[in-house]
């Protein structure tokens, strides 16, 4: 690969043949039909098949499983294991040099994967957001049906599943993959191929979830409760496969992160010198690795209930619908912290830079992140307070849930004390971080009403809980996601993002977000249940208000999109190496960062928060990293 010979670019048709996205899509479609017909061959001879010819879930499952396998083979994921089987020597790199083509296939450069994640997840985030707009269209009038009831539930389901599934990797995917090796002074992730695999699994999953509309959609929302998921039509299979793929992707992503952070830190980077963002990624990864396998197993059981006539979740067949609820929330509650924790970490990482002070209470901040991760495994039955299961344990779950506010309070305290007596600069990423405090405060305090069992009787399953988790997830995760974009994308691409448009985006998003979601607390208090296609007439004003603000909120996302495309595609103003004056190591490297990150592995002698202290920025060793070769 490293020959100096003048590169002759082959013609376009030749470049399209090989292991790339086009091949992957073709093999994916081919694999889909192979699975479809093969499974018909399996079920065909049985009597049940002729009794109910339209009831053949196995074909759909097999079609998608084979489709995903074809897709991955087309991308080239099978090449390396086969090459090793045939006795070729191991090679760590895949497509690490080259042009834009790297972004459209299997690439083992963690920086490329990070940018792939950013774009890929961004696209599906906008698709999910579009679904939210469609939901709000329906709720403009209390009893007028814009969408048929089934379509409406499918829209609600896709919105919820897309956001809760895709966005689990919303920060770890783009920023985790891109930054973790750099922040710990490594040249790559521990398992670069698995890193690429997590991304492409997620993309395959996203397409599968959207394809549910060809199979009649699914009526269960993102929780997919049994036994509704067993009586649902074929669109349910797409939900199951999507979430299972997300589960696999999460598990692998988490493992990769943990192994990388534990084993590949540069000399001198002790646990107390680790940037807090790395701690956030580490604790989130621990949640992913421990929680996501439960989801995969649960969905496998649901899949067997649907195809092989088992009855894990069917009461009449000896199963229990509670089993599904329990298993789902054993995964589901840690999962909401998978969404929230990276947000905590980004806030704590960015505040020192823009307040020009060291991170206050480093150990307390770490304890907060780890404490939330630990406690999040012991609270899941608060989702089942009125379900009639294990009534004696409700006081325990009430207590454990409320306990989470203690480590969350650590994050608040550390953030607030970092601002204290600082020299605060109101840049766009800083504004998003400060908005996090506002949103997460409301999200957290409304959570107190939900965690309190007596109070939860009314708020459970109402718009109140819906407003609560939008405050914590949209207000917590999405705001910090944007903070990360405005902060790190100049480093990732080497181009500035327009600050003025960024501020317009921030203020419109912040105001409209609150105008949209705060009234939903009131709607919930007044008795509007979640996921309804119709509601009481006296709630129409509230709902109309929310709908209109939601459309405008969608509009503020378009401002961001315009800014992003304008700044990075058209304006292309080169960003300075360290536009924020940060002492962290990624800003000491040129932007964009060269393929090998460092010519020599750096040696760390302090944490990256030495503002106002004699210690300088983290030193990149002599000779400095070479730019492009």
Partner 1 sequence: MSSAPATAGGGTDHGRRVIVAWIVLSVITTPLVVIFLGPILPPGHASQQASEQVLDNTVITAIVTPVICLLAVFFGYALMKFRKAKGGAIVDGPPLRNHNTVQMSWIVLTSVTVLFLAAFGTYELLQNGSGGGQGPNPIAVPSGPKLQVQVIAQQWEFTYRYPSYGGLETSQLVLPADTDVEIHVTSLDAIHSFWAYQLGVKADANPGNDNIAFVHTKGPNTFSVRCAELCGLWHGYMFSTGRVMPATQFAAWVKQQQHTFAAVHKYMPNYATTYYPDPQRRAG
Q: Which of residues 303-362 bind partner 1 (CB under 8 A)?
A: 311, 314-317, 320-322, 325, 355-362
Q: Which of residues 596-615 bind partner 1 (CB under 8 A)?
A: 610-613
225 in contact with partner 1 (CB under 8 A): yes
Q: Which of residues 555-594 bind partner 1 (CB under 8 A)?
A: 581
Please, what is the minimum distance in Å from the beta carbon of residue 21 to partner 1?
36
DSSP 574: B
Please, what is the minimum distance in Å from the beta carbon of residue 269 to partner 1?
15
Query: CA dist 218 to 123, 126, 149, 229, 240, Å?
Result: 22, 20, 11, 8, 10
Which segment (116-124, 254-262, 399-407, 569-577) binds partner 1 by CB under 8 A?
A: 399-407
Q: Which of residues 115-154 bind partner 1 (CB under 8 A)?
A: 149-150, 152-153
- H-type helices in 452-498, by residue range? 453-459, 463-472, 479-493
Nearer to partner 1, 341 or 359 (CB): 359
Cα–Cα distance between 479 and 472 in angstroms, integer? Answer: 10
Nearest C-alpha neighbor of 64 from the set 207, 195, 191, 202: 207
Binding mask 188-207 for partner 1 (x = CB under 8 A): --------------------
17 in contact with partner 1 (CB under 8 A): no
DSSP 99: S
Cα–Cα distance between 178 and 174 in angstroms, integer? Answer: 6
441 in contact with partner 1 (CB under 8 A): yes
Please, what is the minimum distance in Å from the beta carbon of residue 564 to partner 1?
26
371 in contact with partner 1 (CB under 8 A): no
b or e along 352-390 (b: 16 or more beta carbons within 10 Å of the residue's beta carbon)? Answer: bbbbebbbbbbebbbbbbbbbbebbebbbbbbbbeeeee
Which segment (73-81, 116-124, 221-229, 278-286) binds partner 1 by CB under 8 A?
A: 221-229
Nearer to partner 1, 43 or 259 (CB): 43
Cα–Cα distance between 230 and 271 in angstroms, integer? Answer: 47
Cα–Cα distance between 219 and 229 in angstroms, integer? Answer: 8
Which of 496, 508, 534, 540 binds partner 1 (CB under 8 A)? It is 534
Nearer to partner 1, 203 or 466 (CB): 466
378 in contact with partner 1 (CB under 8 A): no
Cα–Cα distance between 183 and 422 in angstroms, integer? Answer: 24
Cα–Cα distance between 414 and 352 in angstroms, integer? Answer: 10
Nearer to partner 1, 332 or 361 (CB): 361
Please, what is the minimum distance in Å from the beta carbon of residue 410 to partner 1?
8
223 in contact with partner 1 (CB under 8 A): yes
Binding mask 41-70 for partner 1 (x = CB under 8 A): --------------x---------------
8 A C-beta contact, residue 204 and residue 124: no
Please, what is the minimum distance in Å from the beta carbon of residue 590 to partner 1?
21
Number of residues that bind partner 1 (CB under 8 A): 100
Cα–Cα distance between 32 and 34 in angstroms, integer? Answer: 6
Please, what is the minimum distance in Å from the beta carbon of residue 89 to partner 1?
46
Please, what is the minimum distance in Å from the beta carbon of residue 315 to partner 1?
3
Cα–Cα distance between 117 and 291 in angstroms, integer? Answer: 22
Which segment (117-125, 213-221, 292-300, 329-337) binds partner 1 by CB under 8 A?
A: 213-221
233 in contact with partner 1 (CB under 8 A): yes
Cα–Cα distance between 393 and 414 in angstroms, integer? Answer: 33
Cα 410 to the center of its chain, rounded Å: 24
Cα–Cα distance between 311 and 349 in angstroms, integer? Answer: 48
Which of 501, 511, 526, 595 binds partner 1 (CB under 8 A)? It is 526
Element housing 65 (H / E)? helix 57-75
458 in contact with partner 1 (CB under 8 A): yes
468 in contact with partner 1 (CB under 8 A): no
Which segment (100-108, 109-117, 284-292, 442-450) binds partner 1 by CB under 8 A?
A: 442-450
Nearer to partner 1, 579 or 590 (CB): 579
Nearer to partner 1, 173 or 219 (CB): 219
Which of 402, 499, 544, 599 binds partner 1 (CB under 8 A)? It is 402
**Residue 204 has which token pair?**
């395959």
Please, what is the minimum distance in Å from the beta carbon of residue 369 to partner 1?
16
Cα–Cα distance between 459 and 449 in angstroms, integer? Answer: 8
403 in contact with partner 1 (CB under 8 A): yes
538 in contact with partner 1 (CB under 8 A): no
Please, what is the minimum distance in Å from the beta carbon of residue 92 to partner 1?
36
Q: Going by C-beta distance under 8 Å and a sequence separation of 6 or more, which residues neighbour residue 564? A: 485, 497
> If 0-12 CB within 10 Å is exposed, 13-18 middle and 19+ buried, where does residue 538 land?
exposed
């Amino acid at each position: 690969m490293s020959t100096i010979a003048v590169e002759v670019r082959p013609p376009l048709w030749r470049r399209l043949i090989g292991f790339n996205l086009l091949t992957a899509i073709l093999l994916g479609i081919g694999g889909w039909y192979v699975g479809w017909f093969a499974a018909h061959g399996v079920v065909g001879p049985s009597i049940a098949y002729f009794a109910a010819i339209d009831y053949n879930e196995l074909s759909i499952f097999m079609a998608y499983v084979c489709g995903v396998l074809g897709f991955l083979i087309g991308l080239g994921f099978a090449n390396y294991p086969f090459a090793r089987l045939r006795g070729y020597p191991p090679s760590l790199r895949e497509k690490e040099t080259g042009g834009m083509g790297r972004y459209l296939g299997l690439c083992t450069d963690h920086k490329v994967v990070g940018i792939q994640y950013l774009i890929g997840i961004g696209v599906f985030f906008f698709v999910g957001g579009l679904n939210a707009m469609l939901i709000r269209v329906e709720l403009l009038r209390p009893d007028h049906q814009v969408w048929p009831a089934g379509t409406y539930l499918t829209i609600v389901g896709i919105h919820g599943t897309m956001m809760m599934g895709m966005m689990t990797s919303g920060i770890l995917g783009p920023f985790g993959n891109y930054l973790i090796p750099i922040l710990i002074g490594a040249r790559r992730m521990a398992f670069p191929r698995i890193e690429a695999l997590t991304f492409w699994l997620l993309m395959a999953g996203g397409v599968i979830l959207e394809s549910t509309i060809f199979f009649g959609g699914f009526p269960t929302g993102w929780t997919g409760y049994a036994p509704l998921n067993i009586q649902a039509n074929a669109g349910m299979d797409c939900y199951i496969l999507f979430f299972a793929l997300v589960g696999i992707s999460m598990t692998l992503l988490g493992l990769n992160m943990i192994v990388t952070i534990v084993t590949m830190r540069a000399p001198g980077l002790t646990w107390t010198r680790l940037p807090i963002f790395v701690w956030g990624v580490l604790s989130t990864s621990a949640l992913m690795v421990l929680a996501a396998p439960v989801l995969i197993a649960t969905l496998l059981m649901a899949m067997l209930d649907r195809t092989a006539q088992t009855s894990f979740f069917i009461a009449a067949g000896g199963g229990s619908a509670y089993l599904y609820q329990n298993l789902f929330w054993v995964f589901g509650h840690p999962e909401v912290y998978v969404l929230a924790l990276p947000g905590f970490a980004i806030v704590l990482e960015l505040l020192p830079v823009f307040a020009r002070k060291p991170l206050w209470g480093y150990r307390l901040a770490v304890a907060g992140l780890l404490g939330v991760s630990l406690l999040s495994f012991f609270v899941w039955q608060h989702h089942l307070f009125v379900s009639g299961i294990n009534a004696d344990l409700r006081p325990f779950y009430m207590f454990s849930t409320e306990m989470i506010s203690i480590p969350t309070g650590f994050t608040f305290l550390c953030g607030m004390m970092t601002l204290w007596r600082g020299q605060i600069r109101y840049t766009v990423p800083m504004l998003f971080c400060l908005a996090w405090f506002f949103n997460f405060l409301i999200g957290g305090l409304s959570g107190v009403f939900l965690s309190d069992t007596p109070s939860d009787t009314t708020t459970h399953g109402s718009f109140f809980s819906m407003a609560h988790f939008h405050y914590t997830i949209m207000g917590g995760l999405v705001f910090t996601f944007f903070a990360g974009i405005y902060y790190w994308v100049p480093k990732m691409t080497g181009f500035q993002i327009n600050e003025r448009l960024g501020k317009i985006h921030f203020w419109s998003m912040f105001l409209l977000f609150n105008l949209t979601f705060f009234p939903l607390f009131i709607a919930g208090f007044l008795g509007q249940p979640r996921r309804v296609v119709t509601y009481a007439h006296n709630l129409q004003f509230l709902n109309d208000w929310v709908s209109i603000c939601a459309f405008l909120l969608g509009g503020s996302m378009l401002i961001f999109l315009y800014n992003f495309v304008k700044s990075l595609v058209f304006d292309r103003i080169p960003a300075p190496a360290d536009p924020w004056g940060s002492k962290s190591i990624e800003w000491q490297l040129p932007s964009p960062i060269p393929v090998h990150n460092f010519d020599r592995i750096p040696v760390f002698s302090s944490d990256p928060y030495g503002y106002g202290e004699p210690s300088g920025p983290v030193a990149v060793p002599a000779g400095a990293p070479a730019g492009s070769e």
